[in-house]
Amino acid sequence: MDLKRKSIFSLPTSSQGKKTKSSNQKNESDVILGHFPYGNNDTRSPLNTLEKLLGEIIDSPHSTQNYTSTTGSEVVKAAAELAKALKIAKTSPNTSAHTVKHVDYMHRENLLDTSAILEGESDLPVLPPILDEGLQKAVFTHPGLSNNNKTTYDRLEILGDAYIELIATKLVWDRFQDIPSGRISQIRELLVKNETLSEYATKYGLDRRASVPQGYLDQPKRWTKTKGDIFEAYVAAVILSNPAQGFKLAESWLTQLWLPKLTGLGTQKSTLQAKEALSKKVMAKGVKLDYIDELPPVTSKGGMQTFFIGVYFTGWGWNRRHLGSGQGRNKAIAGDEAAKQALRNNPLIDEIAERKRDSFEQEQRRKA
């Protein structure tokens, strides 16, 4: 008895036990292109099963981390390439095996090599693939290099910005259910600001794939903005290239990426103690501390405001003497920062405290 296990790819056996080919002499390309006894639309087809499994891997890249010691990006990349080859084979029944290999290798340089990108960044969630080569090329092409906005990230970054804003808002809304709208805006701004997105673009190596006008790398502020735009465009391309699961995939990826930044945020216990410490140090009868707006508040992208407060002392010969300045996302924090700076001004604060002691001693002598 022949105990050798047969593969689904094995040829049928004749009554003499010899392998035979069918009368129409199917060649190797038939196997590659899915020409099995099942039809292309038959759910029993092994390639349909494979196609379904590949889709699950692409839509849930983080699941590969349970089966590999690496980030799993190489697995996702291979799955995306194979899924694309199967799609081409499925829609082009007369395509040869050589053509399939041409698509696989000829355009390999255009496929994002996530394994190289994530080297040394194993703490990052797996970068989801862009399943459309045209979109992928556009993501990394600066608008200054082409007048055709379909071949650059000009439009993509606008759409990506909107998606990122929506996903960030929903994440903060769900995670911190007791905070007011202003605080939601502040936390969201931390997640979506250019500096944050630029940082992610650098960690994933997206900046190394960018084609930008000459001189951009020598302008730090502009380069930071550009990297943020590329990241936004990448998010849009992930979603557009996978209509069925792209948004869900991007949301899951960004959520994992942002969670470390959300630790300790939300409803926070007050730690504003510097103002109280300064008052104990210098306040007495007949003197006062004034906390004054030194500059108008600045509103950044996303609605987050920064306030600028200065603290001034009046009494014992001083009139509105500046003690310190501070800034923060509200007046209370900015005022406390100003008080901290004042307390670090040791010579002046010590002199005021000494005047306070002298005044107290004089008052005690009068009462005696």
CATH numbers and ranges of domains, the chain: 24-119 (no CATH), 130-267 (1.10.1520.10), 274-367 (3.30.160.20)
Structure tokens at 111: 């496929």
CB 140 within 8 A of CB 206: yes
Look at residue 166 in the predicted model and tell me its pLDDT.
97
Look at residue 114 in the predicted model and tell me its pLDDT.
41
Look at residue 72 in the predicted model and tell me its pLDDT.
55
What size, in residues, is the chain?
368
- Cα–Cα distance, 160 to 130 (Å, whole number): 13
Q: Read off the DSSP letter of residue 129.
A: P
The CA distances from residue 215 to 137, 148, 221, 232, 233, in Å, are: 21, 22, 12, 22, 21
Look at residue 73 in the predicted model and tell me its pLDDT.
59
Spans of the chain below 70 pLDDT: 1-45, 59-74, 77, 87-122, 264, 266-272, 301-304
Look at residue 83 in the predicted model and tell me its pLDDT.
73
Look at residue 158 in the predicted model and tell me its pLDDT.
96
Residues 6+ positions from 298 with CB-CB distance below 8 Å: 305, 306
Look at residue 60 in the predicted model and tell me its pLDDT.
67
Widest CA span of the chain, in angstroms? 127
